Amino acid sequence: MQDVVVKGVGLHTGAPVTVRLRARPGAVCLRAGGVEARIDELVVASTLRATTVEACGGGLRVGMVEHLFAALAGLGVYDGVVIEVDGPELPLLDGAASAWCEAVSELRLPRQTPRFRVACDAVIDCGDSRYQLSPSDRVEVDVCLVLDDARVTPEARWTGEADDFRTRVAPARTFALAHDFEELARLGLSRHVDPASVVVLAPDAVHCSGRPYRADEPARHKLLDLMGDLYVHGGPPLGRVSALRPGHGANAQAFLRAREDGAIVAR
């Protein structure tokens, strides 16, 4: 199949969004508002509640790219697709990456190997977040959350298998602490959220619908987000990436520094 259309609603705008995934030889490209840029031309413009990328001096700007980018990373798609977005942000869909995995899989693109590798041991601190990198002959990504909540298993790990990503990592839904979700509601940013696409951790209960909550789901979603943020920098790379307290802002800073310092290099 050469063309897949995905429709949904933007989390922050509430506007209908149409995304067209088009198989085309060459680098993965993002296209919006008549402007197109390769994945390696994108820069992170904002990490407020999601990852927003831009290129061409701001002529192209698209928000909430991390879930689709995580699906591309997990399925090993590093070229051969153009992402055309009719709107300022990608839709929330299932709050995870399963819907994106289904869409990308319909293109029947061959699995590819990462274009970058970890070249040396490195430790990168970004505020309260810490990233440890080390060379390896396979992809290894793990996260550790720091939440004082016995209902949350803090660790999650992925070792490069597409099927494991599709069945275990991709279904992990967006999660929020109750006070953060209340702030989103106050700002009018949660009125378009399907309850089945988010897990809310309140002091007295875990609120979700659809699939049952599992204790490692928040960590698996942070792992998913990390993979999506790594994809902006050509990753996840061949090697081990271990993240303590990962977040969109720290992810962007850490891997930009890793590229600049030569800890992550092209293969």
- Measuring CA to CA, how many Å separate 210 from each of 33, 198, 228? 35, 10, 24
Q: What is the pLDDT of residues 246-266, one digit of tens each?
A: 999 999 999 999 999 999 999
Q: What are phi and psi of 88, to 5 degrees?
A: -85, -10
pLDDT for position 203: 85
Pairing status of strand 122-126 against strand 198-202: unpaired
Positive/negative CA dihedral, 59, 249, 133, 114: negative
Token match 């810490």: residue?
Answer: 130
Whether 248 sits among the annotated catalytic residues: the reply is yes
Per the CB < 8 A criterion, the answer to whether 198 and 173 are in contact is yes
Note the pLDDT tens digit of each residue in 13-62: 778 899 999 999 999 999 999 999 999 999 999 998 899 999 999 999 99
Judged by average pLDDT, the poorest of 61-65, 78-82, 199-203 is 199-203
Confidence of residue 238 (pLDDT cuts 50, 70, 90): very high
Cα 35 from Cα 192, distance rounded (Å): 28
pLDDT for the residue numbered 221: 95
- Of the candidates 196, 194, 189, 251, which has an alpha carbon nearest to the alpha carbon of residue 222? 251
CA 230 to mean position of chain CA atoms: 8
pTM: 0.93
Catalytic residue among 12, 67, 221, 248: 248
Structure tokens at 266: 């092209």
Q: Is 164 helix (H, G, I), strand (E, B) or coil?
A: helix
Predicted confidence (pLDDT) per residue in 181-217, tens digit? 666 666 555 566 677 777 777 888 887 888 888 999 9
Q: Which residues share a beta bridge with 123?
A: 132
Cis ω on the peptide bond leading into residue 236 (within 30° of 0)? yes
